[in-house]
Amino acid sequence: MSTARRRFASAALLLLCSLAADAASESYEIDGRHTRPVFAVKHLGFSTQHGRFDDVRGTIDFDPETGAASIDVTIEAASIDMGADDWDEHMRGPDFFDVASYPTLIFRADDVVLDMSAPARIKGRLALLGVVRPVELEVSPVHCGLEVSTKRHKCGADIGATIRRSQWGLKKYVPFVADEVRLTIPVEAYRVER
């Protein structure tokens, strides 16, 4: 085989390997109806109060064979829901999420590994109030399959984390309203068909 043909064959092999690697990874789009982050915080020592965010979007690139994934999720801060209109407005204001200045919360994670058979821990970065800090998430075993109602392929998991809100500048009423916040996030995402 001539040198030119060997070079062409090598280039073609590299291209095929690259295409195969790309084909293994699948893109998923967050299902906002079934992905609503919930947070829990101790309130004045009396009880644990809960709130949630109702507007979530994002993408997950995921290889079900290896578990390799990258995650990019955006939460609209104004979609906070505390169960009472005046409370929602207070949480949207400058004392807390200051949505006029910081309209979104963003979570990103690259080069993580999700597991189909066991819980996993992944590290990413959370941007909140203009502060970007690392955060570690606990992820239940990922389940993938056909969603009967839509006849579309979907993956999902339950995610948890505990953070200290003051690390992102959310310091109002600490320690009377606890610094420690527990996050519980059901996540479902549809595979993007090529």
Mind listing the domains of the chain with CATH numbers? Answer: 25-191 (2.40.128.110)
Residue 16, pLDDT > 60, answer no
Residue closest to 34 by CA, chosen among 127, 118, 154: 154
Average pLDDT over residues 101-117: 96
Average pLDDT of the segment spanning 95-117: 96
Confidence of residue 1 (pLDDT cuts 50, 70, 90): low
Q: What is the pTM of this model?
A: 0.85
pLDDT band of residue 20 (cuts 50, 70, 90) is very low
Summarize the confidence of residues 63-85 as an average pLDDT: 96
Question: Token digits for 143?
Answer: 């389940």
User: How many percent of the chain have pLDDT more than 70?
Assistant: 88
Confidence check: pLDDT of 153 > 50: yes
Question: What is the β-pairing status of strands 26-30 and 56-62?
Answer: antiparallel
Give the Cα separation of 163 and 86 in Å (integer). 25
Chain-centroid distance, C-alpha 75: 9
- Count of alpha carbons within 13 Å of 154, Cβ hemisphere only? 18
Which pLDDT score, from 0 to 100, does residue 133 have?
98
Helix (H) or strand (E) holding 109: strand 104-113
* Separation of alpha carbons 102 and 42, rounded Å: 24
